[in-house]
Structure 1
Amino acid sequence: MSKIIKFLYIIIGFIALGFGVLGLILPVLPTTPLLLLASFCFVKGSERFEHWFKGTKLYKRHLETFVKERAMTLKQKLTILLFADVMIAIPFFILESFLVRGILVLIVFYKYYYFIYKIKTVREVTSKT
């Protein structure tokens, strides 16, 4: 992979990380998917940044369980699902095509199926920090 593409992955990783951190404060931004994007970009962009990110408390608190066990807390699941619903609702109400609306409804049903049956729900771990 070229150095320019790796550099772009790193830049996108830091942007996603920044928005993910903002998501801790602002309830309208979903933290977990943004941190997953950051992790993906760091893996593709730089082994050094990948190791650094996986060593942070942020990664361990929000992503480690999902990456290792394919599990999330109920709060994480609901945050992602509701944010995605809002994003899907925008084109659903703007567009007039019944075909597109039907596809969006199918996406929503599949999304809920996947989160309910394919991703385990675990209790939120309270850390003594």
Structure 2
Amino acid sequence: MHRSFFNIFYIALAFFFLGLGLIGVALPVLPTTPFLLVASFFFTKGSPKFNRWFLSTKLYKNHLEEFLLTRSMTLKKKLYIVIPVSIMLFTSACIMDKMILRVLIIFLMMYIYYYFSFQIVTLKK
């Protein structure tokens, strides 16, 4: 019972993030790849059957497969992810009342820049 509750919870989260990723395909202000990465994580935790299904989708193959195999992205794809995320985080920081939350968001933005600059290889295409 305990295990099946978490499986259902993980699968529900996976579909939620998959939905956000699908919206991100159509809306340039919402990045697709990070949401699909989170969806992939939750599909893996929740159900081998749903995970196999997700891995077979064109959405996965077009947006995640190369990154997960090579840990690399083109500069265009990196910017397509980082710029909208930065805009959303910066906007959130500007409207926050608490200074500690602003500082946390700034540190999160710095980590994102570090990670995309130094941890993900930039492909030349």
Distance 2:105 2:23 in 1: 28
- Superposition pairs for residues 1-129 of structure 1, below 5 Å? 2-95=3-96, 100-123=101-124
Mapped contact 1:13–1:37 kept (Cα < 8 A): yes
Amino acid at match of 1:37: V
Question: In angstroms, what is the RMSD of aligned CA positions?
Answer: 1.9
TM-score for the superposition, normalised by structure 1 = 0.83
- Compare the two structures and name the one with the higher helix fraction: 2
Distance 1:121 1:70 in 2: 9
Amino acid at match of 2:56: G
Q: How far apart are 1:52 and its partner, in Å?
A: 1.1
Distance 1:26 1:108 in 2: 21
Structure 1 residues 97 and 20: alpha-carbon distance in aligned structure 2, compared to 1, 3 A threshold: closer
Gaps of 5+ in 2: none
Q: Percent identity?
A: 44
Task: Determine the structure 2 residue equivalent to 1:127.
Answer: none
TM-score for the superposition, normalised by structure 2 = 0.85
Distance 2:123 2:67 in 1: 10
Q: How far apart are 1:94 and its partner, in Å?
A: 2.2
Mapped contact 1:32–1:76 kept (Cα < 8 A): no
Distance 1:97 1:12 in 2: 29
Distance 1:98 1:7 in 2: 37
For these two proteins, the number of residue pairs brought into alignment is 124
Cα deviation 1:32-51 (Å, max 9, x = unaligned) = 01111110110000001111
Amino acid at match of 1:95: M
Mapped contact 1:39–1:53 kept (Cα < 8 A): yes
